[in-house]
Amino acid sequence: MRWTPGERSSNIEDRRASGGMGGKSLGIGGTVVVLVLSLVFGRNLFTDLGVTPGAGTAVGAHALSPADSIREEHEADFASVVLDSTQKTWAGIFRANNQPYHDAKLVLFRNATESGCGPAQTAMGPFYCPLDEKVYIDLGFFDELSTRFGASGEFAQAYVLAHELGHHVQHLLGTDDKVRQLQQRRSDLANPLSVRLELQADCYAGIWAHETQQRGLLDAGDIDIALNAASAVGDDRIQQRETGEVNVDAFTHGSAQQRSMWFRRGFDGGTLSSCDTFASTN
C-alpha cells in the first residue's frame, strides 16, 4: 500500500506511556471470558465484579529497545493512515446512503489499559468496544501476527485495523445490537451468530480495500497479503495449531476459508449489499 507519514490522526489516543491497573486480578482466560460477556450483555462486567486483568500481565509502561521503538512509531504512523483512510471510506458510503457516520477512536496501549468494555490487555489481541466506540490495540500484536500467525506485511496490519473498524460500522448500523439481543434469547445460536458478525467485519474490510484500489493506492500483492492474513486467523487454523484438533462448534470468527472468502467478496463487490453474511450459508 502506498502511503506517506503525516500528522498523527486526531482519532488516535496514545496511551502507551500510561500505567496499568491494580485491584483483584483474573487470569488471562478469565479476563477473556468476562470481556466477551461484557460485549454480549452491553455492560462493563469487570466493574461489577471489581476485577482487573490477569496475573502475569505486565502492568505499566516498559522501555522498548531503540530499534523496537523506531519500528513501533512506523507502525503507529501506518495505523494512523489506515484509520483515517478507512473512516473516510465509510463516511462516504454512509453519506451516499443518506445515513450519518461518526468516527471511532483508535487506542494504542502497551500491556494493559481500561476500555468501556472492561480491561484491555495484550493477550486479547485487537478488539472494538461498542460501549465507547473505540478500537484497542497493542502494536506488539503486529509482531505476533507475523511470527505466530505467519501473516507478514503492512497490508496484513491494514486488514486487522479495517476489520475492527468494520465492527464500528456494524455498531452504527445497529447490527451488533440485534445480534446480541438474539444471542441472549437463543444461546444455542451464540457462536454461529458471532461467526456471521465477524465474517461481515471481514467483508467490510474488503470494501475498504476495494475503495483503496479505486484510489490507486494498492501495490501488487496487497490483496494476497490480506487474504493470507484473513486465512491465518481462521478458527480452524488457530485451533489446529494450539490443540491439534478442530472443533467447528467452538468457532467464533469463522474458518480460514470463510474469512478469506468474505474479505474477497467485499473487495470484489465494494458495497454493503455484498456483505450480508446472515443471509448466506457460506
Q: How many domains does the chain have?
A: 1
In a domain, residue 202? The reply is yes
* Cα–Cα dist 132/145, whole Å: 26
Beta carbons of 166 and 267 less than 8 angstroms apart = no
Reading the chain (282 residues) residue by residue, the pLDDT tens digits are 999 999 999 999 999 987 555 444 455 555 555 566 666 555 566 555 555 554 333 333 455 666 667 889 999 999 999 999 999 999 999 999 999 999 999 999 999 999 999 999 999 999 999 999 999 999 999 999 999 999 999 999 999 999 999 999 999 999 999 999 999 999 999 999 999 999 999 999 999 999 999 999 999 999 999 999 999 999 999 999 999 999 999 999 999 999 999 999 999 999 999 999 999 888
DSSP-derived 3-state class of residue 80:
helix
Beta carbons of 267 and 206 less than 8 angstroms apart = yes
Beta carbons of 47 and 37 less than 8 angstroms apart = no
In a domain, residue 242? The reply is yes
In a domain, residue 120? The reply is yes
Q: Which domain holds residue 123?
A: 12-268
In a domain, residue 164? The reply is yes
In a domain, residue 37? The reply is yes
In a domain, residue 277? The reply is no
In a domain, residue 238? The reply is yes
In a domain, residue 280? The reply is no
Beta carbons within 8 Å of 175's beta carbon, 6+ residues apart: 197, 200
Beta carbons of 226 and 153 less than 8 angstroms apart = no
